[in-house]
Chains A and B, each alone.
Chain A
Amino acid sequence: MKLSRRCFLAFSIGGAAGTALSPLPWKLTDDLSIWSQNWPWTPVPPDGEYAYINTTCTLCPGHCGIRVRKVDERAVKIEGQESSGMNPGGICLLGLSGLQLLYGPTRIQAPLKRVGERGENRWQTISWEEAIEEVAGRLNDLRSKGQPQAVAALASEDTGTVPQLMKRLLTAVGSPNFYRMPSMEDSQAAVLALTQGEEGFVGMDVEQADFVLSFGSALLEGYGASPRMMQAVNRLRADGGKLAQIDSRLSNTAAKSDIWLAPKPGTEADVALSIAHVLITRNRYDHGFVSQWAEGFEAFSAMVAEKYAPEKIADRTGLATDQIISTAIAFADAKHPLAVYGKGKGQQPGSLKEALAVNALNALAGSINRPGGIQAMAGYDYIQWPALQPDDVAAAGLQTPRLDQKGDVVYPNPGYKVHRMIEAVGAGSADLQALLVAESNPCYSLPGADKVRTAFSKIPFVVSFSSFMDETAMQSDLILPNPIYLERYEDVPVKAGTTRRRVGLCRPVVAPLHNTQHVGDTIIQIAHAMEGSVAAAFPWTDYATCLKETLSDAWETLLEKGHWEVPETTHAAGADGFKTASGKFVLMNETIGAIYLADAPLPAGDESEYPLQLVAYDTIRLSSQYVGSSPFMLKILSDTTLKGQAGFVELNPETAAKLNLKEGASATITTPAGSADVRVHLDEGIRPGIVAMARGLGHTAYDGFLAGKGVNVNQLIAPVEDPASGLDAAWGSWAKLAKG
């Protein structure tokens, strides 16, 4: 028998028929479809018992109430807490992706001591005992040399038990140098003190306003507690209210507004005072409030009449006269108008003159301490610890001036001028021997980030309490990692423009994943290891005891509800009179007059060399504070912000044409502070002459998701000291752009 081709064919056909008659193809198809619908490498949380835990998000100063869903011991989802007074059910993109931070690869897993050069990222794991001993030893050394003031601390907040423990440690050691990262809270506090004589924070009743006039505040992109703000603005618009946005760039907030004014950056104070001019000359201000409660109305009117008629400022601001007039009239027409300031997310104090001018609009409209207006909120005073007994060394140290004190400002408010401290250290004029950094990333997020790094190189001993390997942790000598907010207890007093005083409770959703220790415990242990009066200042065995004792009666409420509504104690209401010397709201007096007279803070640089203005803008899709953006956030960035590794600047087509730059072109941006390679995105929504760049990219630390992507705009912007307050008022920089 010969095996013919036909035999082979017959065999094959028989085989095919037999296969079809067997379950093989059908079963295989079924299995493959199941396999393909359930890729085995896709992580699926194991089945288990569900639980929801109410806690507080501390990833930004918003401090929203959140609810974390757990399956057994694994946290699987974070959502906004319905019962939260702040952000009913709402959450932002960063808050939503907090689990990527919890389980992500950039967590610091144990106390680390630097073995390589600074920034080289070579570490040795040490024990907690060794770490505590090392810090306590260094601080004791400084004290024995009579230099306790040469230690400073930098935190993201200054209220709540943890920042206060940090401050107490410094005071007990003998240093006045406790700093908080810059925030619009500084200028708000200054405005409140100057106009209302109130020590506290500013509440904004956006919920009850019917017209919101925003001076560059990114209301829909992360300002205040962003979910709350978004809900409030949505409500405003649904109820027929109006939003007016003053922004040199068509931001998301500007795009959703009813009125958009795009003045030249840095002229917002002029715009505000010009609107005041219209309100006064057209007799459209609240006579009741002004006549009964305002001090200095005449002087204020005279000033605006002299200098701020809309036609007088048109050139400077680049706005048409009728734009200002119609905006002012719309503001006056509203029943509950509200003017807000604090650019972007409110991470910079901004100009004090601008803050006062915007606040004056609220006063002219009578929107002070009434529904829909600005509220003076009393500060939190639940921390009542026994008074400190500094020893002689500490007492002497506390007498020395702070590193940020100069005393040459019009209004010497006690805000935190971190840029001055950095400048002094960088220039070698300040003796800073040790710096403790908690929950902040100054080497990335302060303007002039490169200079900050230089200053760090001059500090012999830097301790970071960071939970992540961020830029600042990389520049430190010792890292004592804090568990992240989902793993620890902490009281979180809410400010961020809230009109309800509220302390949130941050509580462990999961047991700490790594060998971390609560920074509160670390501080107490350092103090105890130092013995003597420093140890005596910390009568608690651990942080948990301290927290419970401090909150006393409120602790149970916090545990039960996840937050505590603090009863009003000293709230200044218009009807009860203000806390100023005259008992009135100060629209103008000598100090305020001097602030209005002061020059606008201008970035360094020469317009002839740097013809453009670089403006940093905030977006809800990027985090720009202590915590870097999550991988999820980077995924949803548009590719006109970041494409591959390249970061973009936005440019008006008119400006681009002059520079001969096309969409997507590579270019080099140079400012007096530095230069960087970028790509160009053309957008008609930007004022000509302006280059806009997103804040929150260009990390050099963290992981491959974040590092090396785009440009850190803080490298290109130098701090600009506000002549009125001494605070950093940088909104951008002079810049030039050349084909790259």
Chain B
Amino acid sequence: MSSNEKHQTDGRTGDAHASSPSDPRSGPYILLFFILGLALSMVVGWSIFPKLLYSQKSQPIDFNHKLHLEQVDNGCQSCHFFREDGSFSGSPRLAQCTDCHAELLGESENEKIFVEHYVATDREVPWLVYSRQPDCVFFSHSAHVFGAKMDCETCHGPIGKSESLKPYEENRITGLSRDIWGRNIAGFKQNTWDRMKMDDCAQCHAQHDTLHDSSVQTGRDACFVCHK
């Protein structure tokens, strides 16, 4: 006997567990379960998953950008400066901080921790960098700041106006900050600084494509401009 014939035989004798699609009793339930599955997975995907994906870390000490910016003469570049060879120094090193903070200057608790824990012991502060890109991404601050005359805010947002550092949300898979993908889990953004993914670079570069035609193949930016 073939399996096909057996199936037909089973169908004729009636099987309580296998109602036919035309069975009017099971229709609403199927729909209900479909909606249930849909809703649950949407909740997981939109709300639970992002919470699981990121772990919250706090910076070693808090830092008041606004306060510091008021004290210095040269804006952001007073601390986040360009080296002589044109490379960008990124987060300040202890040596720069101690130019002013060799000893306590004020009464803030954070400054006290900073001086006691780091200055006194000559240890670098392990800042968590919100804008750190994967290692394979090459980015020249010089080209953007001096070449394209962009300001810091376009990519980094109004961080200079902040009075304290927000928690660092670390992607458990990539180890990078949430700020790269953006706070919106769907990837939508309102400001230029909301995300730092390749599409965001490309969006701006597309507007200036006449300036960049380093790739013979595409007549536009080649992959190796950024991916090294």
Contacts and interface: CB of A to CB of B under 8 A. Distances in A.
Asked whether A and B interact, the reply is: yes
B30 to A, nearest CB: 4
Interface string B1-32: 00000000000000001110000001001111
A283 interface: no
Interface string A1-23: 10011111011111111110111
A24 interface: yes
Given A7-B29, A7-B30, A22 B39 contact: no
B175 A40 contact: yes
Given A4-B19, A14-B41, A34-B134, A24 B49 contact: yes
Given A21-B45, A47-B90, A10 B174 contact: no
Contacts of B33: 7-8, 10-11, 14
A1 B41 CA distance: 23
A18 B17 contact: no
Interface stretch (B57-65, B179-187, B208-216): B179-187
Interface residues on B, range: 35 or more
A52 to B, nearest CB: 10
Contacts of A35: 173-174
B45 A19 contact: yes
A675 B101 CA distance: 69
A22 B31 contact: no
A32 B172 CA distance: 10
A588 B38 CA distance: 101
B30 A22 contact: no
Contacts, number: 114
Given A6-B30, A12-B37, A18-B41, A38 B17 contact: no
Given A49-B87, A49-B89, A23 B38 contact: no
B83 A49 contact: yes
A44 interface: yes
A85 B41 CA distance: 70
B36 interface: yes
Nearest to B31: A10
A599 B90 CA distance: 71
B127 interface: no
Contacts of B73: none
B224 interface: no
A144 B91 CA distance: 63
A14 B135 CA distance: 39
B42 A22 contact: yes
Interface in A42-70: 42, 44, 47, 49-50
A658 interface: no
Contacts of A30: 181
Contact of A44 (B50, B135, B186): B135
A254 to B, nearest CB: 40
B53 A11 contact: no
A47 B36 CA distance: 49
A451 to B, nearest CB: 52
A161 B53 CA distance: 61
B100 interface: no
B106 to A, nearest CB: 29
A10 B173 contact: no
B44 interface: yes
B136 interface: yes
5 contacts: A10-B29, A14-B34, A14-B40, A23-B50, A27-B185
Interface of A: 1, 4-8, 10-19, 21-24, 27-28, 30-32, 34-35, 37-38, 40, 42, 44, 47, 49-50
